[in-house]
């Protein structure tokens, strides 16, 4: 399986993904520059991604707690999600997300 991650500068990376892992963990294993300060505890919004519109229905919308964290971002859009809350499953093979500047580790 794979997911496609677009970095803030526009570069795209095809990343191997394992069902059951999160998108955040998948990006970390691939050594992509995701801040992910809380390590997936949903205590921050430093793994903020925007899900490609074609994938939103399969990924789903954020819950209330996740939405509250995303509200703090200057980069929030209709497709915003926390990568730590998206679990990789077979139906997400080929998923496209864009890592947002507030989650990019420079």
The whole-number pLDDT of residue 95 equals 98
DSSP for 20-34 reads TSBHHHHHHHTT--B
- pLDDT given at position 106: 80
How high is the pLDDT of residue 62? 98
| Total-model pTM | 0.96
| Site of tokens 């859009």 | 77
* The pLDDT of residue 84 is above 90: yes
Q: Domains of the chain, with CATH numbers?
A: 2-103 (3.10.20.30)
pLDDT digits (tens, 9 = 90+) for 19-71: 999 999 999 999 999 999 999 999 999 999 999 999 999 999 999 999 999 99
- What is the percent of the chain with per-residue pLDDT over 70, rounded to a whole number? 100
């Amino acid at each position: 399986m794979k997911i496609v991650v677009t970095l803030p500068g526009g570069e795209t990376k095809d990343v191997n993904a394992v069902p059951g892992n999160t998108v955040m963990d998948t990006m970390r294993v691939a050594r992509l520059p995701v801040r992910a300060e809380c390590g997936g505890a949903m205590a921050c919004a430093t793994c903020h991604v925007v899900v490609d519109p074609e994938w939103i229905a399969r990924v789903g919308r954020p819950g209330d707690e996740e939405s509250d964290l995303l509200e703090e971002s200057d980069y929030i859009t209709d497709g915003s999600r926390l990568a730590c809350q998206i679990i990789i499953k077979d139906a997400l093979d080929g998923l496209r997300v864009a890592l947002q500047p507030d989650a990019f580790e420079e």
